[in-house]
Chain A
Amino acid sequence: DAKTTQPPSMDCAEGRAANLPCNHSTISGNEYVYWYRQIHSQGPQYIIHGLKNNETNEMASLIITEDRKSSTLILPHATLRDTAVYYCIVRVGSSNTGKLIFGQGTTLQVKP
């Protein structure tokens, strides 16, 4: 079973920041938090991942709480093309054999 819980859906106005929350209260010390998104009928796209420090890349920022029990993905300026299902995943295992178990994700609808 997935180790994360996310709200099933969220709306965001185009141009505004989208903040997607995720709870992972049973995360272990060496498990990373990964974020992916899936646009209809495509494979999931990697967004960002982190262990305990906040991370930022060209797509998004990841804020992880100090106790690591929750995190927030931030899309700073959402566009219509950001409409997708966003998955927060705790990767099982710390080596390159660690698998991703997907939960139900959050459907983000960016509106004009």
Chain B
Amino acid sequence: GAVVSQHPSWVICKSGTSVKIECRSLDFQATTMFWYRQFPKQSLMLMATSNEGSKATYEQGVEKDKFLINHASLTLSTLTVTSAHPEDSSFYICSAVGQANSPLHFGNGTRLTVT
């Protein structure tokens, strides 16, 4: 089945530093990838839609300069949390889709802790 790999699975960083999270589709080409964030005991919240070769579309209330998304190839999208602060600590999850009307497949998430 379709596999989406996310790296790293967890990261601890100091306040003010930037963190990059990678999302790869391993056995299919993904023209579209999605980035979600999940706080404890809450549901997933969509942050942005990432399209290969174009600028990402951000959901309302998500700062595009804070969460930089790059989708440079059909198998890789990256999310960079810039100048991270403790309130950015969360579980970040990516998903990818290949063909039209096929399911989105999710990575196993990245737990970010900002100290």
Contact = CB atoms under 8 A, between A and B. Distances in A.
Interface residues of B, number: 29
A46 B103 contact: yes
Given A99-B49, A102-B44, A103-B43, A32 B107 contact: no
B109 A96 contact: no
B109 A94 contact: no
Q: Is the interface of A mostly helix, strand, loop or mixed?
A: loop
Contacts of A36: 106
Interface residues of A, number: 24
A43 B107 contact: yes
A71 B2 CA distance: 25
Contact of B43 (A32, A43, A97, A104): A104
Interface of A: 32, 34, 36, 38, 41-46, 49, 87, 94-105
